[in-house]
Amino acid sequence: MNNQASISALLDLLHECNSFVITSHVRPDGDAIGSSLGLMHLLEAMGKQATVVFTDPIPPNFHFLPGVERISRKFPASDAVIFLECDSVERSSIERLEFEAAQPILTINIDHHRSGRNFAQFNWIDPAAAAVGALVYDLALASGVPISSATADCLYTAILTDTGSFNYPSTTASTFAMAEHLVRSGTNPNLIARAIYFCNPLSKVRLLGIAIANLQIEGAVCWSHVTLAEIDRVGASVEDCEGVANHLIGIAGIEGAAFLRELPGPPQFRLSMRSRGTLIVSTIAEHFGGGGHHSASGCTMEGSLKDGTERIVDELRAACVRLQEDRLHASTQPTTLLA
């Protein structure tokens, strides 16, 4: 199904149900939270009941979003469950047992990850979309329901954060057209930027300092880590560890960056990778059992930080070599003469 067909089929399904649970992935980011709350406001404007469920904490810089105080940790009975940005029930905040006990009539999956899977009864996956918030925006337009300023704040936040503040390759003219419409619908970009980017807890900045101190660089690859002891030392929360990899890929000449965060329990860690769009990190994440986007992806891996770092850096090195070979190949191809 193309997007238009998906949207009209989805609108038919939404009209048939009265109550909805909306959820997204664990460790929710701006797109997960913004698109969930934006969809909640849209469904309510359509006369429906909607509950957003997250079991993981909402990072403090998203506490300003309209409706965030209504996010539930419990999974209520409903006609339909809508999963945003999830490739499975397991990836969501909802426990499988809780999900099976509730037996929703309908499951809906809306995603924009390349690793997205058709796990629900209705699936709409568009890897070209800049954010799931952009898909919810398309849905809102097609529904004919006017976009309220609450909906606009949530969807703008989703799009702003998932495009890296309109910097990633997924940013196109239509991204700005959406942003323009959302601003016209009541969003104040300056207030949103202040809430998201100028409200970092001190513990987050101190943790970034440790990650920068642990930085290593080799050619176009860089990597860093934080241990549990280091996370404890600055009193950092799990949310404080989000976004470190974005700083690593900002270094001149770097094509691939990896950030490893040690996890409690048996030796394991969380890996986040970034590129500038030419080196594809999602295939490396998939190789290790994770997923994501071309230029931003991650996974959880077992083993020590030291062994993990070696395995990941090997993969990034190899990806860089392939990238250089491709560039060399492209530059030796005969160029078409302009008439």
- Judged by the rule CB under 5 A, the positions of this chain that interact with Mn ion are 31, 131, 162
CB of 223 to Mn ion, least distance (A): 24
CB of 321 to Mn ion, least distance (A): 30
Does residue 139 contact residue 10 with C-beta atoms inside 8 Å?
yes
CB of 126 to Mn ion, least distance (A): 11
Kindly compute the dihedral angle of the four CA atoms of residues 296, 300, 301, 303, in this order, to the nearest 10 degrees.
Answer: 130
Minimal CB distance to Mn ion: which residue? 31
Quick one: residue 143, left, alpha or beta (phi over 0 = left, psi -120 to 50 = alpha)? alpha
Is the CB of 48 or the CB of 294 nearer to Mn ion? 294
Does residue 312 contact residue 271 with C-beta atoms inside 8 Å?
yes
Is the CB of 36 or the CB of 185 nearer to Mn ion? 36
CB of 77 to Mn ion, least distance (A): 28
DSSP, residue by residue, 118-146: --SSEEEE-TTSS-HHHHHHHHHHHHTPP
**109 in helix, strand or coil?**
strand
Is the CB of 160 or the CB of 221 nearer to Mn ion? 160
Is the CB of 40 or the CB of 231 nearer to Mn ion? 40
Quick one: residue 192, left, alpha or beta (phi over 0 = left, psi -120 to 50 = alpha)? alpha
Is the CB of 138 or the CB of 162 nearer to Mn ion? 162
Kindly compute the dihedral angle of the four CA atoms of residues 155, 156, 159, 164, in this order, to the nearest 10 degrees.
Answer: -150
CB of 137 to Mn ion, least distance (A): 13
CB of 56 to Mn ion, least distance (A): 16
Is the CB of 28 or the CB of 308 nearer to Mn ion? 28
Determine the Cα–Cα distance for residues 168 and 85; give it in Å rounded to an integer.
18
